[in-house]
Amino acid sequence: MTAPRFTSLIDSLPSTVPFVGPETLERRRGRPFAARLGANESGFGPAPSVIAAMQAAAGDVWKYGDPENHELKQALAVHLGISANHVSVGPGVDCLLGLIVRQYVNPGDAVVNSLGGYPTFNYHVSGFGGRLVTVPYRDDKGDFRSDLDALLDAVKRENAPLVYLANPDNPMGTWQEADEIQSFIDALPETTLFILDEAYGETAPASAIPPLDIRPNVLRMRTFSKAYGLAGMRCGYAIGAPEQIAAFDKIRDHFGVSRITQAAALAALADQAYLRQVVAEIAAARQRIGAIAASNGLRAIPSATNFVAIDCRRDGAFAQRVLAELIERDIFVRKPAAPVLDRCIRVSVGPRSELDLFGERLPLALAAADKSA
């Protein structure tokens, strides 16, 4: 029997997703994880005020959310000290990244990212027919950072319409200082759009976040998924020049952000005291993960995010065995896949009880990984 034909692009793509969810692994294993430390979520959860706002909005869930996201855009504008026409809201940064690629990348166009950089962005590049050009991370000081000079060289060599950088970085947790980012922006061709993904901006040192210098070739991405604890609600936003922001309206799903999500994000933004409390807990948990790594002869990469990459000091195959042994012991973590980065595992921050379990079971996982070598 014949069937409708896929496009040649869809036929050429592998059947894959950027991340295998912990729920998928739990179904395969037939049991839940005891510690969910792999998805860069906030195990500390949202503020009580946010939960109350969601509960209050639940009775109106029969209504579509405001397609303009008006109240949330106005609140974000006040929070950021800019005009609302500099902000576009969408159902998570991942969705917004796809919209950006769709706007700026023609089939075959080069798009520049670090080798091993955020896989979901790469997924969208492939999905819209772009040609991914990657640049290895720098590892000259033992802390993996994107190579800004090499990224810039690749942009100019390939005449790339789009370049992506996460600062702080995903998957390594490292960061660039604001003056380094600003120099990179100043050196970019005006025809290249720079996606500066600041999903972890709330957990970063102030010195890593440049002032909001609105330019037509820069879009800055932020989210409520990480420090605000709303990963399951799917809400992110882009900051940029009015012309670039208005273009989102041409292709976005105007009802993509639900009424409850809008209420949750508004309440989260209003409760900055809770945000400061969580950021302090995240910093303490990073220190705890670092201490656990050190006590097992491993090295924690300095992190400005809500996770810590741990250098297993061997090769990628050994780190993969450590990951598998942790999962076998009901500890969900992830690891980078790119060469060199792949000798690390990545552990999200979480409540003390879950980090206690990680601390207890990591030495067992390391021993088992050694034994199976």
If asked whether residues 85 and 231 sit together in one domain, one would say yes
pLDDT at 245: 97
Using CA atoms, how far apart are residues 322 and 309, in angstroms rounded to an integer?
A: 13
**pLDDT tens by residue, 204-216:** 999 999 999 899 9
DSSP three-state, residue 256: coil
Structure confidence at residue 131 as a pLDDT band (50, 70, 90): very high
Residue 18, pLDDT score: 75
Total domains in the chain come to 2
Tell me which of 141-145, 167-171, 228-232, 326-330 is least confident: 141-145
Q: Is the dihedral of CA 47, 48, 52, 54 positive or negative?
A: positive
Residue 206 lies in a domain: yes
Report DSSP letters for 146-173, one per residue. Answer: --HHHHHHHHHHHT-SEEEEESS-TTT-
| Same domain flag for 223 and 212 | yes
User: Contact 236/90 with Cβ under 8 angstroms?
Assistant: yes
pLDDT of residue 123: 94
Residue 11 lies in a domain: no
Domain finish residue from 270, 296, 322? 270
Q: What is the pLDDT of residue 13?
A: 84
Residue 7 lies in a domain: no
| pLDDT reported for residue 373 | 67
Tell me the mean pLDDT in the region 120-146: 91
Let me know how many helices (H) and strands (E) the chain has, helices first.
13, 12
Looking at the fold, whether 304 and 224 belong to one and the same domain comes out as no
In this structure, are residues 344 and 367 in contact, taking their beta carbons and an 8 Å threshold? Answer: no
Asked if the model's pLDDT at residue 142 lies above 80, the reply is no
205 class by beta-carbon count within 10 Å (0-12 exposed, 13-18 middle, 19+ buried): exposed
Residue indicated by tokens 């980090």: 355
Supply the pLDDT for residue 129. Answer: 95
Q: Are residues 250 and 289 in the same domain?
A: no
Q: Is 90 exceeded by the pLDDT of residue 17?
A: no
User: Within this chain, do residues 131 and 264 fall inside the same structural domain, yes or no?
Assistant: yes
Tens of pLDDT along 341-358?
999 999 999 999 999 999
**Residue 105, pLDDT score:** 97
In a domain, residue 241? The reply is yes
What are the C-alpha distances in Å from 102 to residues 113, 197, 249?
16, 17, 13
Higher-confidence position of 9 and 51: 51
Residue 169's domain comprises 48-270
Q: What is the mean pLDDT of residues 24-43?
A: 94
Query: Are both 225 and 77 inside the same structural domain?
Result: yes
Residues forming beta bridges with residue 236, ordered by sequence position: 90, 223
**265: in domain:** yes
Q: Tell me the CA distances in angstroms from 252 to 99, 109, 119, 128, 319, one per residue in order.
A: 7, 22, 21, 15, 40
DSSP 293: H
Helix axis angle for 352-371 and 272-295, nearest 10°, is 30
**E strand or H helix that includes residue 110:** strand 110-114
Q: What is the mean pLDDT of residues 92-117?
A: 97
Residue 10 pLDDT > 90, yes or no?
A: no
Report how far residue 301's alpha carbon sits from residue 174's, in angstroms, rounded to the nearest whole number: 7
Structure tokens at 362: 């990591």
pLDDT tens readout for residues 292-326: 999 999 999 999 999 999 999 999 999 999 999 99
pLDDT of residue 190: 96
What does the mean pLDDT of the chain come to?
95
Tokens representing residue 235 in the block: 């809400």
In a domain, 5, yes or no: no
* Cα gap 131→153, rounded to integer Å: 16
pLDDT in tens, 268-285: 999 999 999 999 999 999
pLDDT of residue 4: 92
DSSP symbol at 7: P
Tell the burial category of 27 from Cβ atoms under 10 Å away from its Cβ (0-12, 13-18, 19+). exposed
Q: pLDDT exceeding 70 applies to what percent of the chain?
A: 99
Helix (H) or strand (E) holding 345: strand 344-348
Q: Give residue 59's pLDDT.
A: 96
Position of tokens 């798009």?
Answer: 111
Q: pLDDT band at 12, cuts 50/70/90?
A: confident
* CB-based contact 162:104 (threshold 8 Å): yes
pLDDT surpasses 80 at 16: no
More confident residue, 246 or 371: 246
Cβ neighbours around 193 below 10 Å, total: 25
As a whole number of angstroms, the distance between CA 67 and CA 258 comes to 9
pLDDT of residue 1: 78
pTM of the model: 0.94
CA dist., res. 105 & res. 100, Å (int): 8
